[in-house]
């Protein structure tokens, strides 16, 4: 599965949201699995969208054909768009599906890893972080993806911002030490995204 992460700064909120609803046109596209997104809780003008495709081939075909027509509805409503593609590697918890209806927030973590530590980083994700997240109240589902041996994405869906916040306060620092995250990761950035139900396709 291919994961697409789009982040942009919105300059015309009403126009952007109107255009976002037009992405319902993705339904029926070969290989399309789902899409959702919302607004950053830290920077209210920043929007995030997450799209899921069965394979790179299906995605490339869509980009060559129908993408520009759907995207035209949001022209001029945003700036500073960044697009990243990741290959799905494994679930966080079990049975990841690109569904957004049972979650309130998404935590996205974009990790740049020292290349010689990539294998260790991936192993720690499986052995330390995944069980901790999977056992946390309010964590619905998630995935681990890779763009290269140095660039990774951890996406987790939560029933509420409060439940995710409790996990952060209670466990993250202790887990980081156990996983030797400081040795593995050269840079980590991310956001907490409040999902907008009308953006779900």
* 106 close to 48: Cβ distance less than 8 angstroms: yes
Name the pTM for this structure. 0.95
158 by Cβ neighbours in 10 Å (0-12 / 13-18 / 19+) ranks as buried
pLDDT tens digits for 144-183? 999 998 999 999 999 999 999 888 877 888 999 999 999 9
How high does pLDDT run on average in the chain?
Answer: 95
Q: Give every CB contact of residue 31 below 8 A, 6+ residues apart in sequence.
A: 53, 54, 55, 57, 58, 59, 61, 62
User: Domains of the chain: which residue ranges?
Assistant: 2-199
pLDDT tens digits for 72-108? 999 999 999 999 999 999 999 888 999 999 999 999 9
Instruction: Report the distance separating Cα 151 and Cα 160, nearest Å.
Output: 27
Q: Which CATH number, 3.30.70.100, 3.40.1190.10, 2.60.40.1890, 3.40.250.10, labels domain 2-199?
A: 3.30.70.100
């Amino acid at each position: 599965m291919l994961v697409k992460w789009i982040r942009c700064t919105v300059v015309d909120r009403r126009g952007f949201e109107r255009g976002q609803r037009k992405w319902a046109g993705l339904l029926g596209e070969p290989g399309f699995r789902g899409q959702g997104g919302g607004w950053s809780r830290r920077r209210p003008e920043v929007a995030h969208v997450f799209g899921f495709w069965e394979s790179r081939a299906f995605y490339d075909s869509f980009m060559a054909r129908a993408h520009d027509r759907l995207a035209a509805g949001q022209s001029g409503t945003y700036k500073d768009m960044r697009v990243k593609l990741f290959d799905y590697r494994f679930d966080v918890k079990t049975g990841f599906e690109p569904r957004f209806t049972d979650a309130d927030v998404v935590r996205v973590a974009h990790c740049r890893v020292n290349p010689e530590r990539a294998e260790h980083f991936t192993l720690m994700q499986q052995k330390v972080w995944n069980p901790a997240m999977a056992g946390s109240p309010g964590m619905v589902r998630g995935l681990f993806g890779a763009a290269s041996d140095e660039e990774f994405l951890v996406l987790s869906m939560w029933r509420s911002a409060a439940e995710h916040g409790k996990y952060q306060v209670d466990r993250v620092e202790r887990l980081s030490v156990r996983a030797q995250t400081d040795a593995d990761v050269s840079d980590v950035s991310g956001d907490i995204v409040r999902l907008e139900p009308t953006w779900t396709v």
